[in-house]
Structure 1
Amino acid sequence: MHHPLKRTLARLSAVALLVGAAVAGAAVPASAAGLTLTVDVGQVVRPATQVAAGGLYGVGSDSQPTTAMLLPLNPTSFTQPAPGTTHLGNGATEPCCDSLDVGDNITRAGAQQFIRMPDIYPSFPYVWQGWTDWETKVRNQVNARLADTDMTNVHGWELWNEPDWTWSSAAGTFNDGWTRTYRLVDSLDPVTPIVGPSWAQYNHDRMLSFMTNAKNTNTVPDVIVWHELDDMNWDAFDDHVADYRAIETSLGISPRPIAINEYNSYNQMDIPSVAMHWMAAFERHGAREAHRAYWFEAGTFDGLFTLQNQPTASYWLYRWYGAMTGNMVKTTAHSWLDGMSSYDSSRKIVNVVFGGDWGDNTVRVNGLGALGSSVKVELRYTPGSGRNTAVTAPTLVSTTTMTTSGGSISVPVAGMNAEGAYQLIVTPAGGPTTSWQQVYEAENNTVVNALTRASSSASNGFYVGNIDNDTDMRSDSFVDFTVNVPTARSYTMTIRYANGTGATSTHGLAYNGGAWSTVSYPPTAGWAQFSTTTVTVTLKAGYNVIRLAKGSPNFAGGTGYAELDSITLA
């Protein structure tokens, strides 16, 4: 997080940046038209998990944004300030966004959160007040979190923020400060992951020094965090990842998940196509999660909503992204024309979100054999109108029927605007195979204290295993499925599971914060060898969150063990 008054960059024309400015880490397009973005539906990249659908200070209160506003975006995670925060970010007149105060809203939206510990201080950059003061603040934060025994969504303590320019020399070196703070937090809460070092910018020498010290002192973060905030520098992300992985290998450290909990620059925060470039880079190069930066107002999901709670142009980009289900598939950029794509085999929907260049261009989609010889193609557009302009709906540009050739189509996109973003939906000619989503893959949903694994016997190639823990709210294992149903009624829910224990196992089942019941899983042929069981759930119209849990607050805990592949509502 940066205070714009302290680090304002000269406001450059987005047009000049996108068309003619030479920017480090990004190539200038050779021409502004005649480009082809290529999508290969048959080349799976990873399960669709909305890697980049997160925000720093994105949630302001239990109702700002409302849960109903958050759910269609399918948010993955947020970074929120410390319990008891006094922080006044970006000119705010009173603190907001306390991680424990907003936690229930985040949970209802199916997301997780990091707690940013130094945002207990009122100002930024932070004013160091001595080790006694800091360690008292740390203890108070951790104890407040431990006392909140219903809060299941804290998946990391962020020990410091941007030490490359906020760490005080009066506190000694940052590496020593990290070690001392890590050991204190770990002594109070040895369960919750510790994340960092949260550099403002990736730097090889700093990261090598930090990781060497962390290994030598047994204080290696569970999740590696840094920020990506430079103008138009998304092309550098893969280099940063490769450099960091090489450091891990050189030090003999096992691979850590990577989280970018601030991305996009102050200058270009609200240009949809710029956000799209960052999102595509994070999906393509292996980030586990990424959060929109907090440059302006808190509680607006960092500009996805206006201060009047209306959607902005960028909202529709993230709404399209939030609708991605099944698997992310390979998308190949052409100059600055880029995007990300998903394929849901249960409904036969290809969802392509793209943009980044001007003029008349093309999206070529390969691997459409399963959709038949004729497909329906819908093209939508959201403009580059910024954070203060409400956009009530995207523009439907066209709806056409196209004949595939060798399982491929080439879709012309005329008169592209490089600041806006586009969505291409491809389905069989008669539309998706079901009018609403009925199959929900476990790996697409909120997986807490469990692991996503690959298997050819899983319905989408992936499933969730190691759902093993039922000790307390920090380590409980569960999957939260966010589902969207057309009417309020009872639904038959078929759970596809595996149970290799040789005896019947159980999970707890609850939805929308309601009472717990028990689901029984008879033994299957082995682990990752799936069968089904059926239960009835009574859901409200629209979005619902269904939890299947080995352990969860107010639930005594499941028996034995089971793996989850998917649920189907009918």
Structure 2
Amino acid sequence: MFAPHLTRAAAIGLAAVLLTGGLAVPAQAAGATLTVNVAQQFRPVTHVASGGLYGLAENSRPADSTLLPIKVNSLTQPAPGVGQRPNGQPPGGDALLIAPQADRAGAGQYIRMPDIYPDFPYRWVSWNDWLAKVNTMVNARLSATTVSNVLGWELWNEPDYTWNTSAAGSFNDGWTRTFRAVRALDAQTPIVGPSTATYNRSWMQSFLTNARNTSTLPDIICWHELVDPARIAGDLADYRNLEASLGISPRRVSINEYAAPGEVDVPGRIASYVGKLERGGVESAHRAFWYEYGTMNGLVVNNSQPTGTWWLYKWYGDMAGSMVTTTPSTQTGLDGFASYDGTRKIVNVVFGNEAGANTVNLTGIGALGSSVRVTLLSTPSSGRFSAVTAPATVSTTTRTVSGGQLSVSVPNMVATSAYQLVVEPVSGVPAYQQRYEAENASAFRAARLTAASASGGGYVGRIDNSGTPRTDSYLDFVVNVPAARSYTMTIGYANGTGATATQGLAYNGGAWSTVSYPPTAGWGQFGSTVSTPVTLRAGYNVIRLAKGSPFFAGGTGFAELDYIQLT
């Protein structure tokens, strides 16, 4: 989605905020409360909403140094041979050309196929033209044998607005025809859709019924949330009810465009979006594209300088362990998201979208001890052209925990700003994160699972595939170390095959080595470790453990991964 869409916003009933670029004032009055239940951990930290539509451009824009700290989950990028010219810019962001940089950041990507066309709304030519373009795009991807981070084919974009029914026939029939054309060439890459501009139950019901009846259901269901974050919970719940009523097995859900023009660069508003997307259980969510290529949608200015909103995503990127439940007073005011890293005993809360004096109530923090250090930071709404070198420290205090609970007052909040509340034992935490849970890593063609014996309760299994860049199974760990030197990397694992298994190890795109995993007591039974040296640079590094990967022919046997630890 980009600026020309504004002319059709009124036609589909979007909120006035979309039309004006202005931001509505939160309805909740000052004095709101956000409750954070640290004992109620509901999913691993995977930074689901740290993604972007057209976030990257060719020639490594923005710089890698701006991507690694925000732990980019995934991207939606234009198709190979992109013709799309958003806002008068030349075509850019070709999925295959930006793939090396996305790979360096540990990010997957969806390929948006109709962006082969130059205009928006897309100008339909003919079925012969479209199917020829489908063949060209898919074959270009199949020929790109070093690209392994493609998560799916997005067959069309906003068909409730851009599909030319009079020229191309019904979208449902067009979906079936396009789905089958892609599958005839590529039977393995997931298919994403319908990618509507808004969630509409009757539209979705018609689409799903046809897709079910023609065996063309998308692997990943997608739509856009560009109107109001307060809609997200209801839309997701309604979709799940609809899915079940039609006898369709649960699909993965991506909201691959979120936030209106007047919201996308407002960190307080984004805190509300991310909180609702996390609680809603989506697999991925991408910042909407409104302006320039190669800026992560306004997070970066001058290719390498962070804006105020970037710092919200940096706080998000710092989260590790498990997401924990946040409960706002209402769906329209103060809101946010939070995590708990049980290894370091750090509670990280990010919130905003409210003015005045408000309160964050924390429960279930008894494991941090009776005395804690509470640090409060803020980041402003600077827009997409003003750099913010660092967030502001509002306060640092020592507080007493009573009954595992703590109430923190936050005075003088600005509704457009975002805030970070970090709570940790007063005795201190390790100087840098040493343990990285596998379930927090970027997992490609593998499954996040749970086990009582696993560190943090989670692990990654079914790391089974090798031999093709569409099916290779691997994990990318984005780690941050204080100095350039050799570290001992300890890997927690399970191997129930009864024989030694192997995986490939590479870091920062360097040479491959082999890690061997002797057999253990069984699958999902953890406690065994192996260790190997890794030479890392100061700051951020990407460590890959792979059954198969480009330039690595494939491991032997099978192993499940619990964590890595750097010492």
TM-score by length of 1: 0.95
Counterpart of 1:241 in structure 2 is 236
- Is contact 1:84–1:98 with CA below 8 Å preserved after alignment? yes
How has the CA–CA distance of structure 1 residues 219 and 543 changed in structure 2, closer, same or farther, with 3 Å as cutoff?
A: same
- Is contact 2:2–2:291 with CA below 8 Å preserved after alignment? no
Distance in 2 (CA, whole Å) between partners of 1:213 and 1:416 is: 49
Give the partner amino acid of 1:312. T
Equivalences, count: 554
- Pairwise CA distance, 1:319: 0.7
Which shifted more, 242-251 or 271-280?
Answer: 242-251
Name the SS for the 2:409 alignment partner: strand
Name the SS for the 2:455 alignment partner: coil
Give the partner amino acid of 2:375. E
Aligned partner (choices 499, 514, 521) of residue 517 of structure 2: 521
Counterpart of 1:327 in structure 2 is 322
Please list, as runs of the form range in 1=range in 2, the aligned pairs for 1:218-297 lying within 5 A after superposition.
218-230=215-227, 233-297=228-292
Distance in 2 (CA, whole Å) between partners of 1:292 and 1:442 is: 25
Name the SS for the 1:105 alignment partner: helix
Distance in 2 (CA, whole Å) between partners of 1:153 and 1:214 is: 26
Residue by residue over 1:523-563, the C-alpha shift from the partner in whole angstroms, topping out at 9 and shown as x without a partner, is 11111111111111111111111111111112121111110
Aligned partner (choices 349, 357, 360) of residue 357 of structure 2: 360
Counterpart of 2:12 in structure 1 is none
Aligned partner (choices 536, 540, 548) of residue 539 of structure 1: 536
- Pairwise CA distance, 1:7: 4.0
Give the partner amino acid of 2:163. W
Counterpart of 2:560 in structure 1 is 563
Matched, 1:446 2:442: yes
- Pairwise CA distance, 1:514: 1.2
Aligned partner (choices 464, 479, 497) of residue 475 of structure 2: 479
- Pairwise CA distance, 1:13: 4.8
Where do 5+ consecutive residues of structure 2 fail to align? 10-17
Distance in 1 (CA, whole Å) between partners of 2:270 and 2:33 is: 20
Counterpart of 1:24 in structure 2 is none
Distance in 2 (CA, whole Å) between partners of 1:191 and 1:182 is: 12
- Is contact 2:378–2:393 with CA below 8 Å preserved after alignment? yes
Counterpart of 1:174 in structure 2 is 171
Give the partner amino acid of 1:88. R
Counterpart of 1:132 in structure 2 is 128
Distance in 2 (CA, whole Å) between partners of 1:7 and 1:295 is: 14
Distance in 2 (CA, whole Å) between partners of 1:449 and 1:404 is: 42
Counterpart of 1:18 in structure 2 is 25
Which shifted more, 118-127 or 303-312?
Answer: 303-312
Give the partner amino acid of 2:70. L
Counterpart of 2:40 in structure 1 is 43
Give the partner amino acid of 1:6. T
- Is contact 1:62–1:104 with CA below 8 Å preserved after alignment? no
- Pairwise CA distance, 1:471: 2.4
How has the CA–CA distance of structure 1 residues 147 and 360 changed in structure 2, closer, same or farther, with 3 Å as cutoff?
A: same
- Pairwise CA distance, 1:406: 1.2
TM-score by length of 2: 0.96
Distance in 1 (CA, whole Å) between partners of 2:146 and 2:533 is: 26
Give the partner amino acid of 1:468. D
Distance in 2 (CA, whole Å) between partners of 1:385 and 1:185 is: 43
Distance in 2 (CA, whole Å) between partners of 1:249 and 1:405 is: 43
- Pairwise CA distance, 1:234: 1.4
Counterpart of 1:408 in structure 2 is 405
Distance in 1 (CA, whole Å) between partners of 2:304 and 2:566 is: 32
Name the SS for the 2:156 alignment partner: coil
Name the SS for the 1:460 alignment partner: helix
How has the CA–CA distance of structure 1 residues 516 and 309 changed in structure 2, closer, same or farther, with 3 Å as cutoff?
A: closer
- Pairwise CA distance, 1:71: 0.3
Counterpart of 2:14 in structure 1 is none
Please list, as runs of the form range in 1=range in 2, the aligned pairs for 1:339-354 lying within 5 A after superposition.
339-354=336-351
- Pairwise CA distance, 1:404: 1.0
Identity score, percent: 58
Give the partner amino acid of 2:20. R
Give the partner amino acid of 2:83. T
- Pairwise CA distance, 1:18: 1.5
Distance in 2 (CA, whole Å) between partners of 1:535 and 1:514 is: 16
Name the Cα RMSD after superposition.
1.2
Give the partner amino acid of 1:67. D
Name the SS for the 2:305 alignment partner: coil
Matched, 1:510 2:519: no
Matched, 1:53 2:50: yes
